């Protein structure tokens, strides 16, 4: 029997100790920020009912759902039913669950199921993997982590403002200085649809212009035509595309005139103005915040502000995004609960920090000291020393096998352990430990108390 070469599915990855230390650095930085702003953590199951997931992400999102086959005794029955009734009557019952596509829809489901126990406004954060049946490429994976922060039960635009502040705080800690937080409002997009004479076609408009950065204006125009937009509508839309270098204040002024006949469009402008005013009241500036009136984001549940964050100078897509979704809980039977939130894509952030060399030098969680020994008696004595070191909170380990001292030192060197404590017959007799600094090569004989004082 030939040996099978092991592998993992495309778009999924293993993470070794170095990668996990760096990922934890990302998680901890984001989590500290979420907690600072009053968010509490929760988790939801890996799988949701397909009825929970479908219809919440638009047609393109639904196509990327990982569906989970029913298994066990159910499949045995399916085989029998298929033989008797034919596949067409049985196949719809084979898959009733799916892997979660994001964390927002499961959160909305959680809110509805726990509506009587929740204190509103309810602020939660969630850090879990999600799955999308996408085509794997640089910066795009089929399994990846998201770090979400959402608040439901309030219409206050302070929430949108604080999202901008949280993003800026996280990026400041990561020492990322060249990035854009693009912001828009779905009401503005609805207003644009009205002005160009395409009322009711907001979804088609958003799906098409959401691809502007990827395929360019000429191809977007073709897609708009295919979606039934007239030449006049596309021509009326063109001035917005042409003014893509405006500053925030200039955009607001331009759109007040452009959307003068759209009540909903002007409401979107007023909401953005309030968000920018709140930034000033929170002693924040508009650095890195870029108003982009053609920012659409493909998810169909957004109803107000929308965000998308990209780091400049790297060939990776957005690393964060989100928006307001006033009507999301309504599809689960709880209308009138407004919500807004955003998410960090951990895997893309990892790639950005690695490409720009922004990880701290000491991010790897290493053992502080390893104990080495020459004989069985010294090995037994090392176990007592090991326990004492750990009681003091010092990360310590012992080489488990009685081998030559050189092999023990090689192990410590390969793991990057900064100190090695050696026990031989002289040290055993004198109740000392020979401590070697693996960086400088210096070695000194110390009592256990002095050793702890030196390396703690």
Q: What is the pLDDT of residue 70?
A: 77
**How far apart (Å, rounded) are the C-alpha atoms in residues 213 and 192?**
19
The DSSP code for 102 is: -
pTM: 0.84
CA dihedral sign, ordered 27, 32, 36, 38:
positive
For β-strands 320-324 and 122-131, DSSP reports them as unpaired
Q: What is the pLDDT of residue 73?
A: 61
**How far apart (Å, rounded) are the C-alpha atoms in residues 415 and 369?**
11
CA dihedral sign, ordered 275, 280, 283, 286:
positive
Over residues 159-210, the pLDDT tens digits come to 999 999 999 999 999 999 999 999 999 999 999 999 999 998 888 888 888 7
Q: Is 6 left (phi over 0), alpha (psi -120 to 50) or beta?
A: beta
Over residues 91-122, the pLDDT tens digits come to 456 678 999 999 988 998 999 999 999 999 99
Helix ranges (DSSP H) in 259-404: 263-281, 346-355, 376-391
Q: What is the mean pLDDT of residues 136-152?
A: 89
Residue 343, SS3 per DSSP: strand
Over residues 433-445, the pLDDT tens digits come to 999 999 999 999 9
Residue 255 has pLDDT above 50, yes or no: yes
Q: What is the pLDDT of residue 317?
A: 84
Token digits of residue 50: 């397909």
Q: What is the pLDDT of residue 83?
A: 47
Angle at 70 between CA 66 and CA 71, to 5 degrees: 125
Distance of CA 105 to the CA centre of its chain: 15
Sheet hosting strand 443-446, strand order edge to edge = 396-398, 369-373, 419-423, 433-437, 443-446
Q: What is the pLDDT of residue 78?
A: 59
Q: What is the pLDDT of residue 79?
A: 56
Q: What is the pLDDT of residue 302?
A: 85
């Amino acid at each position: 029997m030939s040996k099978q070469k092991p592998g993992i599915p495309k778009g999924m990855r293993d993470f070794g100790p170095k990668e996990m230390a760096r990922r934890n650095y990302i998680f901890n930085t984001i989590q500290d920020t979420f907690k600072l702003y009053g968010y509490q953590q929760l988790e939801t199951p890996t799988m949701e009912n397909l009825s929970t997931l479908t219809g919440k992400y638009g047609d393109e999102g639904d196509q990327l759902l990982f569906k989970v086959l029913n298994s066990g005794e159910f499949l045995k029955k399916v085989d029998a039913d298929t033989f008797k009734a034919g596949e067409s009557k049985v196949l719809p019952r084979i898959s009733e669950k799916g892997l979660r596509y994001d964390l927002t829809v499961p959160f909305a489901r959680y809110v509805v199921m726990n509506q009587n126990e929740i204190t509103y406004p309810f602020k939660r954060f969630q850090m879990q993997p999600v799955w999308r049946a996408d085509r794997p490429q640089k910066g795009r994976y089929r399994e990846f982590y998201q770090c979400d922060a959402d608040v439901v039960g309030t219409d206050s635009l302070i929430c949108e403002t604080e999202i901008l502040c949280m993003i800026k705080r996280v990026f400041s800690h990561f020492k990322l200085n060249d990035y854009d937080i693009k912001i828009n409002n779905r009401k503005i997009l609805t207003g644009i649809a009205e002005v160009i004479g395409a009322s009711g076609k907001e979804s088609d408009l958003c799906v098409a212009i959401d691809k502007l950065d990827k395929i360019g204006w000429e191809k977007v125009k073709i897609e708009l035509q295919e979606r039934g937009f007239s030449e006049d509508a596309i021509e009326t839309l063109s001035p917005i595309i042409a003014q893509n270098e405006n500053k925030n204040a200039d955009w607001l002024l331009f759109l007040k005139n452009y959307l003068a006949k759209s009540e909903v469009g002007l409401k979107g402008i007023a909401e953005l103005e309030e968000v920018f005013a709140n930034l000033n009241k929170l002693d924040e500036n508009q650095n890195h915040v870029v108003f982009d009136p053609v920012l659409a984001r493909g998810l169909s549940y957004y109803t107000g502000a929308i965000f998308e964050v990209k780091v400049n100078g790297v060939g990776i897509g957005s690393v964060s995004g989100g928006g307001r979704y006033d009507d999301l809980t309504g599809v689960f039977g709880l209308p009138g609960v407004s919500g807004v939130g955003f998410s960090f894509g951990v895997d893309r952030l990892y790639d950005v920090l690695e490409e720009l060399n922004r990880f701290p030098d000491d991010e790897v969680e290493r053992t502080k000291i390893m104990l080495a020994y020459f004989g069985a008696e010294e090995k037994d004595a090392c176990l007592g020393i090991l326990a004492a070191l750990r009681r003091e909170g010092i990360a310590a380990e012992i080489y488990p096998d009685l081998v030559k001292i050189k092999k023990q030192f090689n192990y410590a060197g390969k793991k990057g352990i900064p100190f090695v404590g050696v026990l031989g017959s002289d040290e055993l007799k004198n109740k000392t430990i020979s401590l070697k600094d693996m960086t400088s090569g210096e070695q000194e004989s110390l009592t256990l108390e002095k050793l702890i004082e030196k390396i703690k």
